A = this chain, B = another copy of it.
């Protein structure tokens, strides 16, 4: 019986482990954080699971959060230019948001309940190499520094050598949800984006405010000024940014109640986007397979990281189920099958965060304000990165999409 080792207990590692346990395959997950440490740690992200990912979770039997309170159906757009600034796009089926400090510990519990083994250890690159003698296949789904660096960067798909946005995400009280529930996407030239994401955390509903700030622009201070140094000053600064740049979010704020509950509910930093090789050969003739963040690291602006990781885990899981030999052919098979969608997520995000903006992006956002079909298509495509790159990969593609949407539904935007 094949025996699989997985490095990392994030969404990718846990999804893969759960699928393999559903099929009776021995799996060990290696992580350096217990579920208690995850639960009590710092906020990890403000991720949304699109309906394609919820379908994967349904297959895995981990749909523990079916309620409407975790779900949203709309994107509320605000463009910082033009006459028509506000419009909305609608998904065909809702997305789900849930604090990963709730989500991941529950999946760890599911995994061990199903007979999966979790070993709590720090692992060096050398120790990971040695695990290939213990397991038929070792999948590396997390790891910064030397572990990520085992997988060479793909120069053809990694255009940036530094973060294109400075990031700050906090879980805030005092921001009203829209009805129907949705994510606010406020895009301001020269400033960056604000995503207001209705999130569910330990205390119930909160609003994740994800500030994506253009380096050198007026909003980057929300990343540079550390929250912990002076929480009240940071709160005031946040309100100032909202008043100045993001009116449609500001109007939903009850200033009296506007606050971050805990020092652990805010994360500041930045991401250098990178797509790494799918696998690396080792001196013992075996291979390591990359999964999740180790393989694809994206800026969070389009909420694709976790969705790409879950998709990739399914491809890897299916390939493991159908194969008994984990040679280079296996590795190439995985690379071939996930390549189109993973590269599309990568290309889509890297198109969105280009500085200065690529010309088709403001063209698309302007057109969406006047065309409901196009706004809905852009929204629904958060499930389908391939279609999204088809839509916005170039000026010619945006022109074609505008023309197509105009003939399809000449109705004004919501």
Contact = CB atoms under 8 A, between A and B. Distances in A.
A400 B333 contact: no
Interface stretch (A13-21, A29-37, A94-102, A385-393): A385-393
A322 B389 CA distance: 12
A135 B324 CA distance: 47
A334 to B, nearest CB: 10
A394 B322 contact: no
Copies of this chain present in the complex amount to 2
Interface of A is mostly: helix
A337 interface: yes
A203 interface: no
Interface string A355-390: 000000000000000000000000000000011011
Contacts of A400: 324-325
A321 B309 CA distance: 28
A324 B393 CA distance: 12
B386 A333 contact: yes
A55 interface: no
Interface in A321-341: 322-325, 327, 329, 333, 336-337, 339-340
A114 interface: no
Contacts of A394: 325, 327, 329
A106 interface: no
Interface residues of A, number: 23
Nearest to A322: B390
A280 interface: no
A40 to B, nearest CB: 43
A397 interface: yes
A283 to B, nearest CB: 18
A374 to B, nearest CB: 14
Contacts of A404: 324
Contacts of A340: 333, 336-337
Interface string A301-325: 0000000000000000000001111
A410 interface: no
A396 interface: yes
B390 A323 contact: yes
A387 to B, nearest CB: 8
Contacts of A389: 329
12 contacts: A322-B387, A324-B401, A325-B390, A325-B397, A325-B400, A327-B394, A327-B397, A329-B390, A333-B340, A336-B340, A336-B343, A337-B340
Please provide the 7 A-B residue pairs with the shortest distance between their CB atoms, ordered closest to farther: A324-B400, A336-B340, A325-B397, A325-B400, A325-B396, A329-B393, A336-B339
